[in-house]
Copies of this chain bind each other. A is one copy, B any other.
């Protein structure tokens, strides 16, 4: 019966009690979690606090036709953890504000929290409080607090002429996977159909539905070298390169041949007759890290990243000047269009 229980039938108090019971042992930074006027936490000695917030709306940031409530929870958590990673930080706790419409079942919200908790638990992030209100549009706002070293924060304004430009992982799989799903109108996950293709489907979807924030990578870098420019790729590489360039008041020159195009993006491009470079440059929701380093730190950073099994690519350099420039195989330099991924109501 609990499965069919509608949120409109249960009180906010009942829901909070249920969320509270399911919580795991909090991390060592937590003092007070859910249940008081505010959560209380301590920062590790010598650390400064980091804080970020993101709102996800149904029909804009996620589509329940091809993602589950657990997927939404995971992704909302990933987006915020990724922002902490992009400062070179370690996440500590999350506050979760939900707007429920009455069409969510209790089980949906339990699943939403299980998705958030699955990712939070990997990085010992405590779910420490929040708010639940009733409205006309289902949405969630996550705030994540973390900590970092004041003298070694990765900043959007930190890129310096002469720096090398790097990116973790491969790019384009997330956007290509989503586009294929939308193009083919495949909603396997809901229908449970076409089992032969499901394994492939799941792989396609993984980067889109269960992105992994680069927490471990960010901390390995922060320990190994002095961080310069750093940002996470949530709105597409081109858009984030422009942010770095503008905030750092420097030019960025990208070597097109060095871009790490994801293998799924390549395959899907063939299927759809598209250019894989577009997914790599302009696809959103990658949650990879784009960062710049003094060239003297390159080998140290490389060693630190290899030690934890992380993949990364050297994709360009920072120069005095303005703008973002792409150099193609023939050595021709052209301005890179700032064409970030935009969420649009469906």
Contact = CB atoms under 8 A, between A and B. Distances in A.
Interface of A: 31-32, 35-43, 48-55, 57, 60-61, 82-84, 86-87, 89, 93, 95-99, 128-131, 133-137, 139, 141, 143, 145-146, 148, 150, 153, 155-157, 230-232, 247, 343, 345
Contact of A128 (B51, B130, B157, B343): B51
B146 A87 contact: no
Contacts of A343: 133
30 contacts: A32-B153, A32-B155, A37-B52, A37-B84, A37-B232, A38-B51, A38-B52, A39-B50, A39-B51, A40-B48, A40-B50, A40-B51, A40-B87, A42-B150, A51-B93, A52-B95, A52-B129, A53-B95, A53-B130, A54-B131, A55-B98, A55-B99, A57-B133, A57-B135, A61-B133, A99-B137, A99-B139, A134-B345, A135-B137, A137-B137
Contacts of A61: 133
B155 A38 contact: no
Contacts of A232: 37
Contact of A37 (B39, B86, B136): B86
A128 B146 CA distance: 15
Q: A-side binding surface: helix, strand, loop or mixed?
A: strand
Given A31-B150, A41-B48, A95-B143, 4 more contacts: A36-B155, A36-B247, A53-B143, A141-B141
Q: In this complex, which of A42, A55, A86 has the most chain B Cβ atoms within 10 angstroms of its Cβ?
A: A55
A45 B72 CA distance: 38
This protein's copies in its complex: 2
Contacts of A93: 51
Contacts of A87: 36-38, 40
B60 A49 contact: no
A24 to B, nearest CB: 18
Contacts of A32: 153, 155
Contacts of A35: 156-157, 247
A156 B16 CA distance: 15
Contacts of A98: 55
